[in-house]
């Protein structure tokens, strides 16, 4: 069975990482566009780098939760691809092997001149940091207003899914929120979110609860289908 999972900030909430839209529209005290747009970076690069340095250090202190692990365990029996809007690496640390990061990765940086020049980066990133080709480095994050390079690959995955599991996303940010439109009409969709933005239907089964309780139930449900 081909299972495609679409995750958002909610799956990492119980690991201790804050979601975006639950906290009065501010992201850790900042207007989102001031820290997550090319304009914000041009206006105040130090603020933006400091913001992501703090997020990066915070990420190194948290661990995957039961929901990340339950999704990783699905790989034992199924062909599983995770499409995440999250920039954390908690899916990988839980053991998932096929993770597509739509919005980039916190533990990577890239050249400001060449988006394909990407490096692993666990330390703080400073304005004086350049790659070996002398390119300025910036966070490997897809900011608002920038293209989403992995989108076509993500669409193709959704188009070929038997089962789609959506976890912890407000479905407010496009193009990620549009991915569900590509679900085959005969696919089964599960949606886990304590504040779900989608209603149940013949095709969609909604679990209005937290990821750590809802995702294991979805996994049990899928395993029961098999048996
Ligand atoms: N388990 C599951 N879902 C949860 C939990 C939890 N414990 N706690 C909160 N949620 C849900 C909320 O109900 C909400 O629907 O997680 C969702 C978080 O929504 P957003 O904060 O909007 O996060 P997301 O959908 O991932 O945002 C998309 O927006 O700012 C950009 O690029 C950023 O990738 C991000 C994108």
Ligand 1 centroid–CA 133 distance in Å is 37
Tell me, what's the ipTM?
0.98
**Using a 6 Å CB cutoff, which residues line ligand 1?**
8-11, 13-14, 19-22, 32, 85, 103, 168-170, 172-173, 193-195, 210-211
pLDDT of residue 158: 98
Rounded to 5°, angle at Cα 33 from 155 and 29? 115
Domains and CATH numbers, the chain: 1-17+64-103+148-227 (3.40.50.1220), 18-61+104-141 (3.30.1600.10)
Tokens representing 64? 């995957």
Mean pLDDT of the chain: 94
Asked if residue 63 belongs to a known ligand binding site, the reply is: no
Separation between Cα atoms, residue 122 and residue 103, nearest integer Å: 18
Separation between Cα atoms, residue 168 and residue 81, nearest integer Å: 16
Task: Find the helix or strand (DSSP H, E) in which 93 lies.
Answer: helix 90-94
Entry pTM:
0.96
Angle 66-73/211-226 helices, nearest 10 degrees?
A: 20
Lowest mean pLDDT among 71-75, 112-116, 140-144: 112-116
């Amino acid at each position: 069975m081909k299972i495609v999972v679409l995750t958002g900030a909610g799956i990492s909430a119980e690991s201790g990482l804050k979601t975006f839209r639950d906290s009065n529209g501010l992201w850790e005290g900042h207007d989102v566009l001031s820290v997550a747009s090319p304009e914000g970076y041009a206006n105040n690069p130090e603020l933006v780098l400091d913001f992501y340095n703090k997020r990066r250090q915070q990420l190194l202190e948290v661990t995957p939760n039961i929901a990340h692990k339950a999704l990783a365990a699905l790989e034992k029996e199924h062909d599983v691809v995770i499409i995440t809007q999250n920039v954390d690496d908690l899916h990988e640390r839980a053991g998932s092997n096929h993770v597509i990061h739509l919005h980039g990765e916190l533990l990577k940086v890239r050249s400001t001149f060449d988006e394909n020049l990407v490096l692993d980066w666990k330390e703080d990133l400073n304005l004086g940091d350049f790659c070996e080709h002398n390119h300025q480095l910036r966070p490997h994050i897809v900011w608002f207003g920038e293209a989403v390079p992995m989108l076509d690959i993500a669409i193709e995955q959704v188009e070929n899914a038997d089962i789609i599991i959506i976890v912890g996303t407000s479905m407010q940010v496009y193009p990620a929120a549009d991915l569900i439109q590509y679900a085959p009409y005969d696919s089964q969709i599960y949606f886990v979110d304590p504040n779900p933005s989608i209603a149940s239907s013949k095709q969609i089964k909604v679990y209005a609860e937290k990821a750590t309780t809802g995702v294991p139930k979805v996994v049990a449900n899928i395993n029961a289908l098999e048996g």
